[in-house]
Amino acid sequence: MRLLSVIIPAHNEQESVERVLRDVDKQKEKLKDLHYDLEILLVLNCCTDETGAIAQRISFAYDIPTRILREERKGYGYAHRLGIAEAKGDILLTLDCDNTYPADIIPELLELMEKGYGFITTDRLSLQPAMGKTSKLGNFLLTLATRCLTGQKMADSQSGMWLFRRRHIADLLAGIGTGMELSEQLKIRLARSSTWTEVPIKYYERTGDSKLNPVGDGIRCLWRLVTI
């Protein structure tokens, strides 16, 4: 059996973490049919609420294979870096801890990965996502900038759900940012270095308050695109 590592960064997600963990755990049997075991790495990024306590309780109660990690340097990128460093899987999948992404598509994405892809990302924007007008516009503009500046024809460069192979990932992380921009930068490097594809997915309304800073995060992502 091979291993799939699901990396879930979380910053004060006590309202959503139980459902996220249980939804991912529900995929175990389908993953076994594909000859994969599952590990979940929940990375608590400067959490000050009950996210960790809830995750620990739920994982014990439902026998969910969760490893709870703590990253005290605030930043989406820092959380991803720790999760990637600690992951033991052959294939890694990232997933935001806000109930916006469909966990039930994980087996389908993994099966597609077995066809020889080195990287698979997902597209939220093509299927009428549950996203406000400002967020939708920001995602569209950053994706357009990605396409123009890098030549990578992604339909949604900002998606938080993507898969990649563990090998050689350390080299691709060198020089990448520590905030929201890490996701976009790493996707671009993965796309440049391997065969990749993009899969449209449903995108749901988030549980709890958004932790994004639309202006600040958007500017940092755009600047990193220019300098990548």
pLDDT over 80 (residue 89): yes
pTM: 0.89
pLDDT of residue 93: 98
The total of other beta-carbon atoms located within 10 Å of residue 73's CB is: 12
Q: Which helix (H) or strand (E) holds 10?
A: strand 2-10
* Segment 104-142, tens digit of pLDDT: 999 999 999 999 999 999 999 888 777 777 777 777 777
| Residue position matching structure tokens 């600047």 | 223
* Segment 133-177, tens digit of pLDDT: 777 777 777 787 777 777 888 999 889 999 999 987 888 998 888
pLDDT of residue 198: 96
In the chain, count H helices and then E strands. Answer: 9, 7
pLDDT of residue 216: 57
Distance CA 46, CA 12 (A): 8
pLDDT of residue 133: 75
Mean pLDDT of all residues belonging to the chain? 89
Is the separation of the CB atoms in 165 and 118 below 8 Å? yes
What topology does CATH give the domain 2-227?
Spore Coat Polysaccharide Biosynthesis Protein SpsA; Chain A (3.90.550)
> Comparing 213 with 1, which gets the higher pLDDT?
1
Q: Which residue ranges make up each domain of the chain?
A: 2-227
pLDDT over 70 (residue 84): yes
pLDDT (mean) for 176-203: 89
Query: CA geometry: angle at 196 spanning 137 and 224, to 5°?
Result: 50
* Segment 195-227, tens digit of pLDDT: 999 999 999 998 877 765 555 555 555 555 555
pLDDT over 90 (residue 50): yes
